[in-house]
A and B are shown apart, each in its own frame.
Chain A
Amino acid sequence: ETGVTQTPRHLVMGMTNKKSLKCEQHLGHNAMYWYKQSAKKPLELMFVYNFKEQTENNSVPSRFSPECPNSSHLFLHLHTLQPEDSALYLCASSQTVVPYNEQFFGPGTRLTVL
């Protein structure tokens, strides 16, 4: 496997379910990110991890809980979501968080909350 992978690619869940999104990067990067992409809205940064430490929480509701066990893996735990949380969730990684490091994105998880 190369690049950034995400599983599952599609997820449908009820508001009372608990699920997790997984992201894995095979690039040897030290920074990982979760983004939310809703219809007709710019990409929104949710969380940033740098060397496994969370460095940014962009005012994300507590029903989204990130976990970064190592520099290669990033999870997003979901519980008691709302229908408005339906979106494309994109994971990305970069060498570091400095401005000149481009981010490489995974294919995304298309989440639908019923």
Chain B
Amino acid sequence: AQKITQTQPGMFVQEKEAVTLDCTYDTSDQSYGLFWYKQPSSGEMIFLIYQGSYDEQNATEGRYSLNFQKARKSANLVISASQLGDSAMYFCAMREGVNTGGFKTIFGAGTRLFVKA
């Protein structure tokens, strides 16, 4: 079974609008971390935002926020005020606790975001 599911292979958003990229995960661990990365066409993976499983507040980093719904096992990324430079692949990832393979970070298949002018 997939541990990280990103159901949107591609998304379009109008410049200056907000967009939500979906991510659901599967784990039996109580302690885990959730990450979002951006990969532009250059190939480099850029860390965007982190959410810990015990964090009560949703993480925010500038225009990025993570809508963390623990009971639903979802960790959607919200990008506000989209910019043309946001066009890229976006990956959701999870690292489980030490007891269940804490050395591995598992990545989803990614969502390609296209920002239209």
Contacts and interface: CB of A to CB of B under 8 A. Distances in A.
B42 interface: yes
Contacts of B32: 99
Interface in A21-61: 33, 41-43, 45, 48, 50, 55-56, 58
Chain B interface size, as a band, is: 20 to 34
B43 A88 contact: yes
A97 B102 contact: yes
Interface residues of A, number: 26
Given A43-B107, A98-B98, A99-B96, A105 B35 contact: no
B50 interface: yes
B35 A107 contact: no
Given A98-B102, A106-B44, A42 B107 contact: yes
Contacts of A105: 37, 44-47
Contacts of A58: 104
Given A56-B103, A88-B43, A97-B103, A42 B110 contact: yes
Contacts of B95: 99
A46 to B, nearest CB: 11
B47 A99 contact: no
A110 interface: yes
Given A43-B93, A99-B52, A110-B43, 8 more contacts: A42-B109, A43-B45, A43-B91, A43-B107, A99-B95, A103-B35, A105-B44, A105-B47
Interface of A: 33, 41-43, 45, 48, 50, 55-56, 58, 88, 90, 92, 97-108, 110
Interface of B: 4, 31-33, 35, 37, 42-47, 50, 52-53, 91, 93, 95-98, 102-110
